[in-house]
Amino acid sequence: MNIPCRGLLFDNDGVLVDSDPGVEQAWSQWARDRGLPAEEVTAMVHGRRSADTVALLVADPPERAAALAEIDRLEIEAAALTTALPGALDLLTSLPQESWAVVTSGVTALARARLAAAGLPLPPVLIAADDVSHGKPAPDGYRAAAEKLGIDPATAVVFEDSVAGATAGAAAGAYVIGVGPRGLDTEAPVVVTDLRGLTWRDGALDLTAARLLRS
């Protein structure tokens, strides 16, 4: 299976890195400090900007800024728990600099901290939560990344593990590939276990050696 494309746009958490231990730790503490059910809170955060999650959970607008600053601090402190997901390092280091970007719902400092902890290269283009007015499922981040790479979003492949992220990629006009078990909850036509076996060359993504969960 080969997908013609001019660029690859990656979500970070759940696609390139496993940040679930840090997410669980930070958001559970944040929830407990506010008397909220930790399991319900941690279940709703994937694919969302922290600002959007906080807005849903903190009713009083004046309290939201402090609540947002607190979760951003807790997540950055827990970033050391982040590890690279299988295949991420091999794929990223094989790509030309002008061909890929990361689009994440985390803020810039958090995205950089998680990539560094996982031992992954910083992307040539990084679009984070603080770079867009509307987070996923809005397509803004993926459109901005494609523009910075100088390509049409319709010529890009997006890798996502969340429903919100996959919706954003599709709305931007890109071809979306789901990643991991959470990727099965998306409407992505193809879902891979992880990034192992994927290669990109001569303007085409080769999935022949990929581990497929859905195709």
Q: What is the pLDDT of residues 140-189, one digit of tens each?
A: 999 999 999 999 999 999 999 999 999 999 999 999 999 999 999 999 99
Q: Which pLDDT belongs to residue 48?
A: 86
For the chain, how many helices (H) and strands (E)? 9, 12
Q: What is the CATH number of domain 2-19+82-214?
A: 3.40.50.1000
CB 5 within 8 A of CB 175: yes
The set of catalytic residues is: 11, 13
Q: Which pLDDT belongs to residue 202?
A: 87
pLDDT at 192 exceeding the cut of 90: yes
Average pLDDT over residues 65-86: 96
Cα gap 77→39, rounded to integer Å: 20
Burial 53-76 (b: 16+ CB within 10 A, else e): bbeebbeeeeeeeebbebbbebbb
CB 203 within 8 A of CB 7: no
